[in-house]
Structure 1
Amino acid sequence: MVRDDLYITVPSFFRCPISLDVMKSPVSLSTGVTYDRSSIQRWLDNGNNTCPATMQVLQSKEFVPNHTLQRLIQIWSDSVRHHRVDSAANSPPHSVLSQEDVLELIKFVDCNSVSSSFDSLSKIVCFARESEDNRKFLARTDGFVPMLVDFLANAGDGDSGGGVYFLEQVVSLLDMIFKEIEDHEQLTNSMIKSNNNNNRDCLASLILILQQGSIESRIGSARLIESVAMDAESKLIIAEKDGLLRELLKLIGPEKDPNLMEAGLSCLIALSMPRRVKVKLVHIGAVKSLAKTLSEPNGSVSITEKVLKLLETVSSVKEGRKEICDDGKCVEGIVQKVLKVSATVTEHAVTILWSICYLFRDRGAQEAVTKANGLTKILLLMQSNCSPSVRQMSADLLKIFRLNSKSFISCYDTKTTHIMPF
C-alpha cells in the first residue's frame, strides 16, 4: 500500500482551476472565480477573453487579489509544513516510492478524475525520473501506457486550458518511457492513426502543450512527436494536423531556449522526409525562419547543423530552392558557414549551394554566392581534406561559375589565384 504521507488532502478551493496547483497568489475575475495570478495572466496573454471556468465573456480583464483566500492558504501551508517536519523526524531518510506504491498510485489515477489524480501522477513522474529501471518497470506495467494515451487523447480541454498541467505530466511520462516500450508500432497507431469519435485526439493535446506548456514539456512534446513519426504514413498524418508544423516552427526562433530549439529542429527534420511535408514547410515560412536563426552569430554547432540539414531537405523541392534563392540573406548565411563551424555544417551548406546554383542554375543565387565571397571558400574547400562527395559538388560549382563569368579569375586577389584548379 501507499504510505499515508504520500497523500496530503488539499481543499479544492485552494487549487487554481487552470493549473490544479495550490494557488500562490490568488486573484479574482469579474465573474467571481479565483485563479492563481500566473495562470490566469498566461491565459489572458494568449488572447483569450473568457473566464476559463465558466466560459463567460469577460467584461473586463482586470483582476483583484483575494487576500482572504491567500491568508487561508498560508495558514494551511504552514500546518502542512509542520506535519512534514514531524513526519521526517520519525521516518528513515531518503525514503522513495516502492514498485508496490507506484502500482497503487496507478490504480488511483486510473479510477479517479483528472483534478484528484494530479498529485498522484506527479509522484509517478518523480519515480520515473529516478532511474532507468523505474522507467522500464512503468513501460512494462500492464495498462499503464494505454492509460496515458487515453489521458492524452481525452483529458485536455482546449477551450478552457484546465487540463494543460495534467497533460504536461502525461507527456513527460510518455517521453521518458518511450524507448522502454516494446511495441512502438502499436503505440504509434493508438496515438496518431486512430481517433476517438468526437473526443480530442492525441495530436491536438500535443499542440496544446506546444502552445501553452512549460519549456520542459514543450521539449517533451516535440520529442514525443518525433518518436511516433515512424513511417511515411505517420509523418504525413502528423504534418497535416492543422497548426502542428507552425507550432514546431515557433520553437526555433533565435531568442528561444537552445534545448527547445534543438528539439523543434530534430522533430521537423524527422517529419520532413515526404515531399508534401517539405512543400508545406516552405509555404508556412520555414526558409525565412531558418535564415533568421542561421544569421545569429552565437548559435551552437548542433543547432547550426540541424538548421542547415533542414534547409538542405527543403532545397530538394523546387519550392524550397526558389524560396532560398529569393532570400539573398539566406544564401549569404549559408556561404558564411562553409569551413567555419564543422565538417557536417560544411557538407550541408555545400549541398544546398550545389542544389540551387548547379541543379537549379539560379542566377540570383549565383550572384549572392559571389558577393559573399563564396567562390574563394569553394576553392579553399577543394584544397582541404573534404569528403569525395563535397569535393565533387565543389568542382561542379566552380564549373558553373567559370561558364557564367568571363572575368572569373580577375575577381580574386592574386594571393588566392595559385589554388585555381583550371
Structure 2
Amino acid sequence: MSSLWRRRRKSGKSKEINSGSELTIPTHFRCPISLELMKDPVSLATGVTYDRESIDMWHDTGNTTCPVTNQVLGNSDQIPNHELRKMIQDWCVDNKSHGVERIPTPRVPLSSYQVTEVCSKIAAASRGRHDIKCRELLTKINNWAKESHRNKQCLVKNGIGAALAEAFARFSTEKYTNLLKEIMSALTWSFPLGEKGISDLKSVVSLHCMARFLKGDDLSSRRDTIFVLKEVVISSGDDDHELVEIEGIEETLFQVMKVPICPRATQACLVVIRHMMMVSQEKVTMRFVKLGLVDLVLEILVDGSKSVCEKSLVVLDVICRSGEGKESARRNALMVPILVKKILRVSDVTTELCVSSLWKVCLGGNGEGGLVEAVGVGGFQKLLLVLQLGCGEQTKEKATDLLKSMNVYKKKVECFDSSFRFNYISRPN
C-alpha cells in the first residue's frame, strides 16, 4: 500500500457526520482512498469502486495500479456506478435530519472530443474576427474548467492553450481589449501551449498587447499578463530577441516591480527581467541600471521570501557582470551587508549567488571599500563556514579568492554580528 494511500486512510478514519449523536457512514459508501462519502463513484476494470476525484488524484501522481488490489491497470477507464450513487443519494435523503446534505448528481466529465471541437471553433472565430462567438466559447471553457480539476487537465492536454494563444494574437488590437483580458486570464492555467502557441504569443502584436496591459491600471490584468509572459520567456530560451525590442519595456517591467501586485507577480517579473538581460546583456542591463533596478532589488531582498530572494539574486548577479552594474551596486550601502547576511541563511542557491555577487563587486577595480565593509559585517567568518560546510567548485574558488583579499583587513576592522538589521545604514536617495 503506497504512502498516499496510508495518508488518505489515516486522515479519513475520524470523518463522521454528526448531529447531536454520531452518524456513521456505511463502509461501502466510503471511497477506499479517502475513506469519505463518495460523491461520484466510478468502477475500474478490477471491479473496485472509488470516488472519481480520489482515483483521478491517484492516477495523476503516476500510479498505474488499482489501489485496493494492486493490479496493474491496462487502461484508466472509469465506469460510473449509477446504482451505488443512487443508493448514496437515498441514504443522504433519509438522514437529512442528521445534517446530511444530498449529493448532487455529478456532471459527465469533459471528453477529448469536446475539447478538440471547441478548439476548432475558437480557431474559426478568431480567424474571422468573430469576437462575440469567441467570448461565448471562452465562457464555456471557463465553466468547464471550474467544474473540476479533471476537466481543466483535459482542456490543457488537448490543446486549449494553443487555441487561446492563436486567438490572442489575432485579436491583439485595442478594439478587443476586454476579450483579450479574458483570454489572458484563461491562458494563466493553459500551459504548456506547445511550439505553435508560444510562437503566437511571441509575435510582435501579442507582445505589444501584453506590454500595454502591463502599463494599465487593471491589476488583475497586469498580474495575469506577467504570469503568461514569464511562461513564454521560459519556453523561448535565451536566444529570443522580440521582447527586448519593444520600446519602453524595461521601464514598464520596472514599474510592475516597484508597485508590487503580489509576491508571485514579483517573482515572474524577475524571471522576465533576467531573460531580457541574458538576451541582450550590456544594452538592456544599462537601461535597467539607469532606472534604479539595483536599489529596487536590494530593497526586495531585505525581507523577501526564499523564492523571491533566489530570483532577485539571480538578477543581481547578472547585473554585476557589467561594469555599469557593478558600479551601481557598489554605490548602494545595502549591497554588501545584504549579501553577507543572506549567506547560509536562505538556501544553498542563495549562498552561491551571494558569494558570486560579492566576488564581482569586491574584487577588481574599486572594490577595496567593499572588502573592508564585508569584513566589518562578518563576511570573513561566513565565507569560512561556506568552505567548511561544502559548496560547488566555482563557489569554493570565489570564496577562497575573497578570503585571501579580506585577510589583509580582518584584524584592522571592527566586526559586527552578521545577523544585524540594516536600520543604521543610510539608504540611497
Contact 1:278 1:314 in 2 (8 A): yes
Query: Deviation string for 1:100-128 (max 9, x for gaps)?
Result: 77358635566565467534423324435
5 Å-filtered alignment, 1:146-225, equals 146-151=166-171, 153-154=172-173, 156-157=174-175, 163-181=176-194, 184=195, 186-192=196-202, 195=204, 201-212=205-216, 214-225=218-229
**CA shift at 1:319, angstroms?**
1.0
Evaluate the alpha carbon distance shift between residue 204 and residue 112 of structure 1 in structure 2; reply closer, same or farther with a 3 A threshold: closer
Question: How many angstroms apart in 1 are the aligned matches of 2:214 and 2:255?
Answer: 9
Q: Does 1:136 align with 2:157?
A: yes
Question: How many angstroms apart in 2 are the aligned matches of 1:310 and 1:331?
Answer: 16
Contact 1:128 1:176 in 2 (8 A): no
Evaluate the alpha carbon distance shift between residue 112 and residue 402 of structure 1 in structure 2; reply closer, same or farther with a 3 A threshold: closer
5 Å-filtered alignment, 1:303-322, equals 303-322=308-327
Identity %: 22
Contact 2:226 2:269 in 1 (8 A): yes
**CA shift at 1:238, angstroms?**
0.7
Contact 1:382 1:394 in 2 (8 A): yes
Please report the RMSD computed on the Cα atoms of aligned residues, expressed in angstroms: 3.3
Q: Does 1:279 align with 2:286?
A: yes
Evaluate the alpha carbon distance shift between residue 366 and residue 164 of structure 1 in structure 2; reply closer, same or farther with a 3 A threshold: farther
Contact 1:207 1:244 in 2 (8 A): yes
Q: Does 1:409 align with 2:411?
A: yes
Contact 2:119 2:160 in 1 (8 A): no
Contact 1:335 1:349 in 2 (8 A): yes
Q: 1:123 aligns with which of 140, 143, 162?
A: 140
Q: 2:299 aligns with which of 263, 275, 292?
A: 292
* Counterpart AA for 2:224: G
Question: How many angstroms apart in 1 are the aligned matches of 2:120 and 2:404?
Answer: 71
Question: How many angstroms apart in 1 are the aligned matches of 2:301 and 2:107?
Answer: 46
**CA shift at 1:380, angstroms?**
2.7
Query: Deviation string for 1:298-346 (max 9, x for gaps)?
Result: x210111111111011111111111101111122222211111111111
Tell me the residue number matched to 2:99: none
* Counterpart AA for 1:176: W
Evaluate the alpha carbon distance shift between residue 127 and residue 187 of structure 1 in structure 2; reply closer, same or farther with a 3 A threshold: same
5 Å-filtered alignment, 1:78-89, equals none
* Counterpart AA for 1:409: K
* Counterpart AA for 1:102: V
**CA shift at 1:412, angstroms?**
6.6
Tell me the residue number matched to 2:24: none
SS of alignment partner, residue 242 of structure 2: helix
Contact 1:354 1:397 in 2 (8 A): yes
Higher relative contact order (CA 8 A, sep 6+): 1
Evaluate the alpha carbon distance shift between residue 301 and residue 188 of structure 1 in structure 2; reply closer, same or farther with a 3 A threshold: same
Tell me the residue number matched to 1:365: 370
Query: Deviation string for 1:252-283 (max 9, x for gaps)?
Result: 34854111111111222222213132232222
- In structure 2, the gaps of 5 or more residues are 1-103, 418-429
Question: How many angstroms apart in 1 are the aligned matches of 2:129 and 2:244?
Answer: 34
SS of alignment partner, residue 409 of structure 1: coil
Please, which moves more after superposition, 262-271 or 103-112? 103-112
**CA shift at 1:136, angstroms?**
2.8
Contact 1:192 1:237 in 2 (8 A): yes
Question: How many angstroms apart in 2 are the aligned matches of 1:269 and 1:172?
Answer: 24
Contact 1:248 1:268 in 2 (8 A): yes
Contact 1:253 1:293 in 2 (8 A): no
**CA shift at 1:386, angstroms?**
2.7
Contact 1:328 1:365 in 2 (8 A): no
Question: How many angstroms apart in 2 are the aligned matches of 1:316 and 1:104?
Answer: 48
Contact 1:148 1:174 in 2 (8 A): no
SS of alignment partner, residue 287 of structure 1: helix
Tell me the residue number matched to 2:385: 380
Tell me the residue number matched to 1:338: 343
* Counterpart AA for 1:294: L
5 Å-filtered alignment, 1:231-310, equals 231-234=237-240, 236-253=241-258, 256-274=261-279, 275=281, 276-295=283-302, 297=303, 299-310=304-315
Contact 2:168 2:201 in 1 (8 A): no
Question: How many angstroms apart in 2 are the aligned matches of 1:117 and 1:145?
Answer: 13
Alignment length (residue pairs): 302
Where does structure 1 differ by over 6 angstroms across 4 or more consecutive aligned residues?
A: 95-98
**CA shift at 1:290, angstroms?**
0.3
Evaluate the alpha carbon distance shift between residue 368 and residue 127 of structure 1 in structure 2; reply closer, same or farther with a 3 A threshold: farther
Tell me the residue number matched to 2:95: none
* Counterpart AA for 2:167: M
